[in-house]
Amino acid sequence: MALGRRVFAGCAICAAIGVATREAGAQPAATRRTILQSAEVPGTNMVTHLVMVEFPANGGNPRHTHPGVTTGLVLEGELELVIDGVPAATLKAGDSLLIPNARPHVERAGAAGCKAAVTFTVEKDKPLASPA
């Protein structure tokens, strides 16, 4: 049950920072995250979450970090990913991503939005995401 509370808290924090960019005169749309599966990594203080992440058109997340490694696969649309120390990349359906532990980054979807399957392998007792 404690894992469920941590997952819920992590989702709430991640949703709180998932503010989309605002178009002139429009209400911002939030990035939607759905946890598909979670599991503790035996013998460690880590947990893995498989998450479906859906960005609205031109939506994104402000600069933030995760307390572990993030990997993913873009399923639909385009995603601009800017990771500190790495040239910006525009990812399309079929492209994969890897964000190193605690590396600040920013995400922004293209005009059609973006859908990605993302795995977060993070420390159990830390927020899933923190502003950077």
The domain locations on the chain are 2-131
Query: Which tokens in the block code for residue 119?
Result: 């795995």
The model's confidence at residue 27, banded by pLDDT at 50, 70 and 90, is low
Per-residue pLDDT tens digits for 72-116? 999 999 999 999 999 999 999 999 999 999 999 999 999 999 999
Region 11-38 average pLDDT: 61
Q: Are residues 24 and 12 in contact, defined by beta-carbon separation less than 8 angstroms?
A: no
Query: Which tokens in the block code for residue 10?
Result: 């992590």
User: How many residues would you count in the chain?
Assistant: 132
Q: Are residues 128 and 49 in contact, defined by beta-carbon separation less than 8 angstroms?
A: yes
pTM of structure? 0.78
How big, in percent rounded to 5, are the helix, strand and coil portions of the chain?
10, 55, 35
User: What pLDDT shows up at residue 26?
Assistant: 54
Query: Which tokens in the block code for residue 88?
Result: 């910006």
User: What pLDDT shows up at residue 29?
Assistant: 76
Instruction: Check residue 13 and report its DSSP letter.
Output: H
2-131: what CATH class? mainly beta
